[in-house]
Structure 1
């Protein structure tokens, strides 16, 4: 399981990857379907606090039995993975699908306020009082003009 997250240090597995898969054969196709799940610790993309979440991912992959000598034609290059051996190692397919389905920008909550861009205070815990008002640089001259009109 550690090798699954080797290139993704922002994700830390808290449990083994659990999966329940079934394989069905139809003609020269083998269809593998099921679900995978794992408890993962991540960092909130807004406030950087740790987030623990059970990630559940559906899995479906199609494999096509082909002879070794036979070259793939454009008809064979569908969504099915060509297989020439009697056994199929599902581990690379399962791991790849799980990593692809991990949240790109995990959040501790939908209403997370994040960190103050000025002082770095976690705005979920306290207010910092920094002026974070964004002024469009194209309108900055107008702001100065309005200030001079008040005086």
Structure 2
């Protein structure tokens, strides 16, 4: 998600560029399991201190349901607006000193908001952070909707059956045994047995 903004920096304040983005984000973050590309629109506006970038993007990511621990797909929509400032002047290549910079002082400290010496504006870090902020804090199978997790009742039924030493039959006619219980739930079964035994 890199853009050469040298020409835009040469243009007068108020100049605009718009881009349609279809970007693979598989390498954006090792902990982010993207199911599809990042798509949307990005607008770059020339301002007195650099470039104001705004965007509306969406993607799909794989997350774990907070209730049943099954992997689910979650649609993530994000909007952002950030001001980027150049490190060097376009015409001369001279570094812009911090006291010459026009704009907020916090923009000087964030490396993700700097346009490098080759006039490349990199949106990767800003977008990565916004994706994490847009994701649900406690994702569920019905993420974005109402109701309970459909898998949770099956797991609870299986745990109860395993505790009682019984097998239960699924609606499809297949036998659901203790092997069907997710191993991550096994600790809860042991704890329940100890609590009831005392």
Q: Is residue 112 of structure 1 aligned with residue 141 of structure 2?
A: no
Q: Deviation at 1:88?
A: 1.0
Where in structure 2 are the equivalents of 1:1-150 lying within 5 Å? Answer: 1-8=25-32, 12-65=33-86, 67=88, 68-71=95-98, 76-79=104-107, 81-83=113-115, 85=117, 86-109=119-142, 110-112=146-148, 122-123=155-156, 128=160
Q: Deviation at 1:34?
A: 1.2
Q: Contact between 2:63 and 2:73, CA under 8 Å: does it hold in 1?
A: yes
With normalisation by structure 1, the TM-score equals: 0.61
Q: Deviation at 1:79?
A: 4.8
Residues 127 and 29 (structure 1 numbering): CA distance in 2 closer, same or farther, change over 3 Å? same
Aligned residues: 122
More helix by share: 2
> RMSD across aligned C-alpha pairs, in angstroms?
3.3
CA deviations on 1:4-53 (whole Å, 9 max, x unpaired) are 34134xxx321112231001112223111111111122211111123222
Q: Structure 1 stretches of 5 or more lacking a match?
A: 131-151
Q: Deviation at 1:112?
A: 2.8
CA deviations on 1:69-127 (whole Å, 9 max, x unpaired) are 51358x741457344532212223222322332222211135436859xxxx624x678
Q: Deviation at 1:63?
A: 1.3
Q: Distance in 2 between matches of 1:69 and 1:33?
A: 24
Residues 65 and 13 (structure 1 numbering): CA distance in 2 closer, same or farther, change over 3 Å? closer
